[in-house]
Structure 1
């Protein structure tokens, strides 16, 4: 069993766990199913190319396996791909990026208004988005949780290469700084601001997760 930091019960984890669960390392057996309370919001954060979209596609929404209802999966990458299919191939993404972002946040807002459980792709650098998600969770009397993927820069760059889409050196450095700060907070036993809990995953433990489930 991984070390459990803190003594208070975190709603929806199904365990008398502390606010931070560290599921990294070869000696830790991570769960196949991560459980949260119905109506909670979960953000999946980490480096670009670190496996966030892969985890969300596999484990969130209706496609996940295991017990409990699935939440809506909101991934900005999905929105971008939908727009790319509709745009001329020669048109640079930078031209219509503002429209993609507007469409992504509009979809996120609609799901938050519905009161459904939501799993959200979080790039790590936009703390204001997490603040809005935390406020939305509080308004519905629920909690915000973070799944934080701890991958090396080399693993993340390899992931970017595999998907055929990378980020600039400047943007990647910003992401590294933001994710490093989130990891330091969590390793000190403190979830990121606004989050009731943080679960740390490496590539091995993230690959073992087959379901992000929400239970009454």
Structure 2
């Protein structure tokens, strides 16, 4: 399979655009946020990339906490602690050198601002890959992975991501504070994102 190197700039909208496989290219200390509603394919994409970069993922934090607690303890009891720990881990990851991948839905305005602030303070470029898939496709993705979001939570994510995408369409990357680039992909074009490479710009 032939793969073409591609360095996103400003807003790159791949939705509805056919084409070959792409290897996304970013600077050596770039932070790339992979966002989208639950079931949009964030984890699948990150596994496909298998990039030599640090990764912060809320599910990994949750699993680490679960491993330290008795199985009988319900997640609802320690969910706030998991979320706090994930925020601390994410902030700490920005301080370490080298490329960074961030698994985040992207639907919370305060988290988008926090990511921008941490990137700015640590002299990093912040880039976004937003998987703008249809709700039905995301629900199918949840069923395929056997992990489903609560209906109310899912609807909230869908509304917020729809507003974010609409903002990007109107205002460009300014809709995601601090982003040097935003790449939009739907379910079809998501398959074109074959890999990611971090290194000096040519």
TM-score calculated relative to the size of structure 1 = 0.80
C-alpha distance in 2, partners of 1:190/1:30? 25
Aligned residues: CA RMSD: 2.0
On the 8 A contact 1:19/1:189 being kept in 2, the answer is no
Partner of 1:19: 10
Structure 1 unaligned residues grouped into runs of 5+? 1-12, 65-69
Residues 128, 115 of structure 1: CA spacing in aligned structure 2 closer, same or farther, 3 A cutoff? farther
Of 188, 193, 201 in structure 1, the residue corresponding to residue 185 of structure 2 is: 201
Give the aligned length: 193
- 1:142 Cα deviation after fit: 2.9
- 1:98 Cα deviation after fit: 1.8
- Secondary structure at the residue paired with 1:32? strand
Partner of 1:112: 94
Of 17, 32, 36 in structure 2, the residue corresponding to residue 46 of structure 1 is: 36
- 1:75 Cα deviation after fit: 1.0
Of 49, 52, 59 in structure 2, the residue corresponding to residue 77 of structure 1 is: 59
Partner of 1:4: none
On the 8 A contact 1:143/1:196 being kept in 2, the answer is yes
Partner of 1:211: 195
Partner of 1:166: 148
Residues 42, 30 of structure 1: CA spacing in aligned structure 2 closer, same or farther, 3 A cutoff? farther
- 1:149 Cα deviation after fit: 0.2
C-alpha distance in 1, partners of 2:45/2:193? 8
Partner of 2:3: none
Partner of 2:116: 134
The range that moved more, 101-110 or 177-186, is 101-110
Describe the superposition over 1:42-69 as per-residue Cα deviations: whole angstroms up to 9, x where unpaired: 111111111111112221xxx33xxxxx
C-alpha distance in 2, partners of 1:30/1:103? 39
Partner of 1:67: none
Describe the superposition over 1:20-77 as per-residue Cα deviations: whole angstroms up to 9, x where unpaired: 101122x421543111111121111111111111112221xxx33xxxxx32111112
Structure 2 unaligned residues grouped into runs of 5+? 1-5
Partner of 1:157: 139
On the 8 A contact 2:106/2:161 being kept in 1, the answer is yes
Partner of 1:56: 46
